[in-house]
Amino acid sequence: MDKGGLKLNKEKRDLLIVKKFISDEEIEKSSEKPVKKVDRVSTGIPGLDKLIGGGFIPNSVVMVSGESGTGKTIFATQYIWNALCMGENGLYVTLQQTADDIKDDVAVFGRDFRKAEEIGQCRILYAEPQDMKKIIAIILKNVRDLKAKSCYRFYYHVGRVC
């Protein structure tokens, strides 16, 4: 970048832009503060983990939003599959597709959820979306039965909000 006869690389240019708004003293003070490291739970998707600082923050709520066919189910099942591979248990509750449809859809990626269910490591369940109290009861019962280490909540948004 050429500014007034000076050739600046991107790092120096960005530093000059920052210095316009923050004094050298403020920059020095901010570098002295210890940065608190937050534990993370891997998503099982290396590129995403790197992008979001190592994974999800424990006990966080994650909203996965998108139209039909955008990969929401693949994303959630990859996360659960990663947990299963680390010896944890997992629960997937679907309000749209049947459990068999989900198992069939992800089998093409080599994820054998039927086998994991047979050995008692996970469950994929369909629940009618009309009764939220019943859905919560199903989730709590199965999390307890499976002795799931943690419960991550994925909220799907399908279609448009009017």
Question: For residue 95, what are its two tokens?
Answer: 């309000």
pTM for the model stands at: 0.66
pLDDT at 27 over 90: no
**DSSP conformation class of 86:** T
pLDDT tens per residue, range 86-122: 888 888 888 888 999 999 999 999 999 999 999 999 9
Phi and psi angles of residue 140, each rounded to the nearest 5 degrees, phi first: -60, -45
Q: Which domains are assigned to the chain?
A: 6-32 (no CATH), 46-157 (3.40.50.300)
Which whole number is the average pLDDT over 125-152?
82
Q: Are 60 and 23 in contact (CB under 8 A)?
A: no
pLDDT tens per residue, range 36-89: 677 888 888 889 999 988 888 887 777 787 888 888 888 889 888 988 888 888
| Interatomic CA distance for residues 162 and 160, integer angstroms | 6
pLDDT at 152 over 60: no
Question: For residue 75, what are its two tokens?
Answer: 């994303």
Rounded to 5°, the CA angle 37-15-46 comes to 40
